[in-house]
A and B are shown apart, each in its own frame.
Chain A
Amino acid sequence: QVQLVESGGGLVKPGGSLRLSCAASGFALTDYSMCWVRQAPGRGLEFVSYISYGGRDIYYADSVKGRFIISRENAKTTVYLQMNTLRAEDTAVYFCARENDDSWIDLWGQGTLVTVSS
């Protein structure tokens, strides 16, 4: 079954860290660029980070640059998002997503909730 499954979300205090994982199955992760998109409660979708299929090209939204790190282990069919120095405004559901050859998102995970609160 072609799917993405996120894990690692939870409650963390401001200034804390969390690492999200995205496990891919049913397709060759090595063939796809991947990204993280988040959605704060009751809000719209926001791009967080992107990593190309080979891992050479990486981009971040300005709001997370310098605090978040995206990586991938193709052998483990997993993409990660290391989130440091978390702020209340980082509270959101974080979706892992796959870009197709035309750079559109054709596969989404179910999302994992990150709550930053004291």
Chain B
Amino acid sequence: IVLTQSQATLSLSPGERATLSCRASQSISRYLAWYQQKPGQAPRLLISDASNRATGIPARFSGSGSGTDFTLTISSLEPEDFAVYYCQHRSNWPFTWAFGQGTKLAIK
């Protein structure tokens, strides 16, 4: 399974709405997560199972989608949200692990 994040870079301003996409090469149901990574840091889990916010993640982050098309939405960008975002698929049957190439959310 290949995950494609078509937006290499997305340039927006604080306060704007961000919509990041991730497309799977075949249906993965809702087995998708989103991670945020800031420079010099490890990634952080934001969303699991396509739409479940992880513990401590602000409500401005939301995920949606199923099958092959998924979206991470940040309703109103805060300065700390400018980072790289990765989608990830994981399955046990068969064992599958895949990351998207990442989308850099940059300040406009």
Contact = CB atoms under 8 A, between A and B. Distances in A.
A95 B48 contact: no
Contacts of A108: 42-44
Interface in A64-101: 95, 99
A27 interface: no
A41 interface: no
A46 B95 CA distance: 15
Contacts of B43: 45, 95, 105, 108
Q: What bracket does the count of chain B residues touching chain A fall in?
A: 20 to 34
B99 interface: yes
A102 B49 contact: yes
A91 B12 CA distance: 32
Contacts of A110: 42
B99 A46 contact: yes
B90 A45 contact: no
Given A95-B42, A104-B33, A50 B48 contact: no
Nearest to A57: B95
Interface residues of A, number: 20
A108 B36 CA distance: 12
A104 B99 contact: no
Contacts of B86: 44-45
Contacts of B44: 108
A6 to B, nearest CB: 10
B66 interface: no
A40 B49 CA distance: 27
A50 B42 contact: no
B102 A50 contact: no
7 contacts: A45-B35, A45-B88, A47-B98, A102-B48, A104-B49, A104-B88, A105-B33
Interface of B: 33, 35, 37, 42-45, 48-49, 54, 86, 88, 90-92, 95, 97-102
